[in-house]
Amino acid sequence: METVVSGIRSTGNLHLGNYFGALRNFIKMQQNNRCFFFIADYHSLTTHPDPSVLHDNVRSILTQYLAAGLDPEQSTIYVQSDVPEVAELYLLLNMQAYIGELGKTASFKDKARKNPDNVNAGLLTYPVLMAADILLHKADKVPVGKDQEQHLEMTRLYARRFNNRYGIEFFPESQPYNFGSELIKVPGLDGSGKMGKSEGNGIYLTDEDSVIRKKVMKAVTDSGPTEPNSPMCDGVKNIFTLMDIVSQPDTVQYFKDKYNDCSIRYGDLKKQLAEDIISAVAPIRQRIAEISGDEHYLQLVTRRGAEQARESAVKTVAEVRQIMGIKSF
Ligand code: TRP
């Protein structure tokens, strides 16, 4: 069985793009791998979040992942800052990370350009902290999006450097977890290619039914097909792509036929899509409401998660200290 490590950003609500794009794959991935999922709250400190909201963000994102199907019976689910070994490994790995390389990282340059007043060392060494998360459990695989690929490359670089310097095959060279053809790209309903937080076009797992209906009814379309089998505009294509994800195949076919013989009414199409999105979202929203009020459950999950994570973390850090020559009197 392979070990998989995945860090989860501690801010923002989950939208359909996150759910169908990544989360549903995580739910499958946890069934046949040794998975570690953690909320990356240390990483979020680079932007100096208000201390009064930090914990609520962690709670809310953890709740949403649990509600959507991350299973603490199958995986180790923890909060990064509950595992102090990550900070120690981060310190030790910093010795393998050169400032020149860190300064050239795409994410660093991007953030430094956008926030020139807050170019802190935590931001510079963000990839080292991420390497510590991954190498703490000696991960074989890491599910990463495009924006995190370079960080994973740097993780391999530090692992290799460590191994070479100390002449030992200790850290693995963690590879991207490949979801292959299962990876779904969820479009936005504003005619754009992608649903995303920064795009401002998200339908969230916490959205009420009425909010979902309103968002879907506003979806961008055109004035309708005038000739049989005419090509679809991007907006209409996106509606059908979403339908492919949430609706029954015969429902999709019904509306495709209607489009092709020019008898489609976009209002009906949208109403159907809205109801099918609601069927997918409502049970998760219900679970979010249940879990978020269940302090005891959240405590149980995070305590047990931290305990399990620390089993491998303590072992790894002890071995690294020993390899580097750190001994106690
Ligand atoms: N940097 C990742 C992101 O922004 C989150 C993350 C932190 C992570 N540590 C990780 C992802 C370790 C995978 C493995 O999405």
Closest residue by Cα to atom 7, ligand 1, is: 7
Cβ of 142 less than 6 Å from ligand 1: yes
Tell me which of 125, 133, 142 to substitute to probe ligand 1's pocket, judged by most ligand atoms within 8 Å of the beta carbon: 133
- The two tokens of residue 28 are 């499958």
Over residues 254-294, the pLDDT tens digits come to: 999 999 999 999 999 999 999 999 999 999 999 999 999 99
H helix runs in the chain, sequence order: 16-18, 24-29, 41-44, 51-68, 85-93, 99-103, 106-114, 121-124, 126-135, 149-166, 209-217, 234-246, 249-260, 266-292, 295-324
Verify whether residue 270 is a known catalytic residue: no
Which is catalytic among the residues 28, 104, 109, 111?
Answer: 111
Q: Is the CB of 43 under 6 A from ligand 1?
A: yes
- The chain-wide mean pLDDT, for the chain, equals 96
The alpha carbon of 289 and the centre of ligand 1 are apart by a number of angstroms equal to 26
Give residue 191's pLDDT band: very low, low, confident or very high (50, 70, 90).
Answer: confident
pLDDT tens for residues 23-49? 999 999 999 999 999 999 999 999 999
| Beta carbon of 67 within 6 Å of any ligand 1 atom | no
- pLDDT digits 0-9 by tens, 55-93: 999 999 999 999 999 999 999 999 999 999 999 999 999
User: 38, 148, 152, 155: which to mutate for ligand 1, most atoms within 8 A of CB?
Assistant: 148
Instruction: Please name the residue whose Cα sits nearest to atom 2 of ligand 1.
Output: 7
The single residue of 28, 141, 185, 194 carrying the catalytic annotation is 194
Residue 7 near residue 40, CB atoms below 8 Å = yes
197 among known catalytic residues: yes
Annotated catalytic residue 256: no
Q: Is 138 helix (H, G, I), strand (E, B) or coil?
A: coil
> Which candidate, 196, 229, 202, 230, places its Cα nearest to that of 216?
202
Average pLDDT of the segment spanning 94-110: 98
The length of the chain in residues reads 329
